[in-house]
Structure 1
């Protein structure tokens, strides 16, 4: 059946050449061979995991954060005399201010008090936003590569066990919410630990500690309550960075769940489009015994049924070729395409 379909390619090539369509620039035999080879490679490919794909970017991101922290801390340490606000230890205050600036929390308990310090802080703020942009880029790349891996692996499975069985397998798959639940739990624990330290080390009332923890983890940082002691700021350096990271990771996992849901729908749609209803083929063969309907007939039928071409287009083309245009269109009702019985497959690897 596919041999008859492949015979259409030279015909389409010649027609395209006469009408000067773009596809005429390629040799049909060469295109067919390349397509077949590409499909074979894709079918035998072991797709890399998404984590391994973004791991080099994560390593670079860690280097960027380390470089930013060193440069910002040294710069703020030199300019600490130009800073205003509550001070404790020069190095601790510099590192603490670096983290607060980088995470965009911005309490305001330490702030620049001269033109030079304001310029330096402006550069550090821009650097922090640049790092945030890199994080967003890596997160987007992770989601896109995961969606691609899901699609490619699903098609790989569909070629091995067949589209019908693959659809049944996909239907039984459930969306994994575990990472969202674990991330939410970790963020809750982190939130409680922050409140505890604020109450014990900073000696805040519970309501103020809760308020400070909330404004910090959401990067609002009003600044009316913050870490004021030396030991509190030492804890705050780590807690602020990890807290904002926990919130960002939770949002990433929520986006990942939504992506998985949409990817599942898309994969089902792609695989389902390779399935032709057995009733359509039986109806054609039973009503027209003297004709065998091949792949080309059903491809044209599907194109017409989807509204991509009209009967007039087909009749005109057949007339030019001197071929009778009575085909599968005369025996299969157009509404049959709405049925979803899935048994006979048109293999897509050679299409």
Structure 2
């Protein structure tokens, strides 16, 4: 019987050159890691988010139900309201829109305990729930317009950086630049006010100054109450114009606020990136306290300084890393993923 070392010379000869293996990996059989990845991707699908079109359709539905309830309630108790009457349905719709937009002209007011309680409920529901849905509708329409604009810019000249249109649209990031949003916001404000001024002058028979005054007080939802819509065409117009203009102007002011915040953030980010590390900052950036700051530690520290990530975000990511690092070796290996 031969000795085992004689049968297997690679055990004792350090210069032993193994012969080429006749075993070949099948090109059709997937790797174990691939199988595991496919199985895991099927198990951990991201939570489904509702499409913007769903919010738009829901907003239309709830707006219809909200206004229908308000019109029905007002029509049944119209003798319990103090109002300059034009047409029962038009007055009811006008009252609902003015209430929902929180303008409060004061030309139609509840005059009984029941109608006051109804008005309280109507305001709270409209302010706390319907307005959120309507804001989602406005966002959907604006996002749709933005996507169409981006497609147009990409199709013309490919949206190159030397294209003047790139000053207004950031094609790489797939969004309008903040200056473009501010410009559109200001145009919307001017358009809404202009339409209101023209209608009030020619249909409500107000002079130009009073028309401009009432238009501004309406779209900004101030509504002092010294001026209001009194004619039938005026209230029909107001029922549509107030709903559109107040939401559009609110979105415009949000864009203006976003522009100010974005400018401040960019100035802060530039200041952080231009700063060199001090001794105190070096010690803060040295997360593992090994006496030097690695590239990853420097990136994390700068992101925290710029406000891109918070300490809580980093802790949650570290917890996820520790959960995947089953061997507690400070790294995630392929074996760790396969074992999961």
| Aligned CA distance change for structure 1 residues 308 and 114 (closer, same or farther; 3 Å) | same
Contact 1:86 1:228 in 2 (8 A): yes
Name the CA shift for 1:310/1:178 in 2 (closer, same or farther; >3 Å): closer
Task: Tell me how far apart the structure 1 counterparts of residues 285 and 120 of structure 2 sit (CA, whole Å).
Answer: 57
Aligned residue number for residue 252 of structure 2: 250
Is 2:256 the counterpart of 1:241? Answer: no
C-alpha deviation, 1:226, in angstroms: 0.7
Deviations 1:57-113 (A, max 9, x none): 232222211110111111111111111031111111111101001111110001011
SS at match of 1:106: coil
Cα–Cα, structure 1 residues 175 and 109, in superposed 2: closer, same or farther, change >3 Å?
same
Which residue is 2:75 aligned to? Answer: 77
Query: After TM superposition, what 4+ stretches of structure 1 lie above 6 angstroms from structure 2?
Result: 258-268
- 1:309 is matched with 288
| 1:55, distance to aligned residue in structure 2 (A) | 2.9
Segments of 5+ residues of structure 1 without an aligned counterpart are 1-32, 143-168, 273-302, 313-328, 341-347
2:117 matches 1:119:
yes
Greater per-residue helix proportion:
1
| Pair 1:92 & 2:86 matched | no
3-state secondary structure, aligned to 1:210: helix
Aligned residues: 224
1:213 to partner: Cα distance: 0.8
Distance 2:114 2:197 in 1: 36
1:178 deviates by 2.2
By how many angstroms is 1:251 displaced? Answer: 3.0
* TM-score of the pair, normalised by structure 1: 0.52
| 8 Å Cα contact 2:197-2:211 kept in structure 1 | yes
**Is residue 80–residue 111 contact of structure 2 (8 Å, CA) maintained in 1?**
yes
Question: What's the counterpart of residue 218 of structure 2?
Answer: 216
- Tell me the TM-score normalized by structure 2: 0.53
Do the aligned residues in 2 keep the contact of 1:175 with 1:261 (CA within 8 Å)? no
Extract unaligned runs of 5+ from structure 2: 1-32, 141-170, 274-281, 303-331, 335-340
Instruction: Give me the whole-angstrom Cα distance separating, in 2, the residues matched to 1:91 and 1:136.
Output: 22
Cα distance in 2 between the residues matched to 1:206 and 1:37: 69
| Pair member with larger Rg | 2
Give the Cα–Cα distance (whole angstroms) in 2 for the partners of residues 212 and 349 of structure 1: 68
**Corresponding residue for 1:191?**
193
Using the TM superposition, give the Cα deviation of residue 134 of structure 1 relative to its aligned residue in structure 2, in angstroms. 2.2
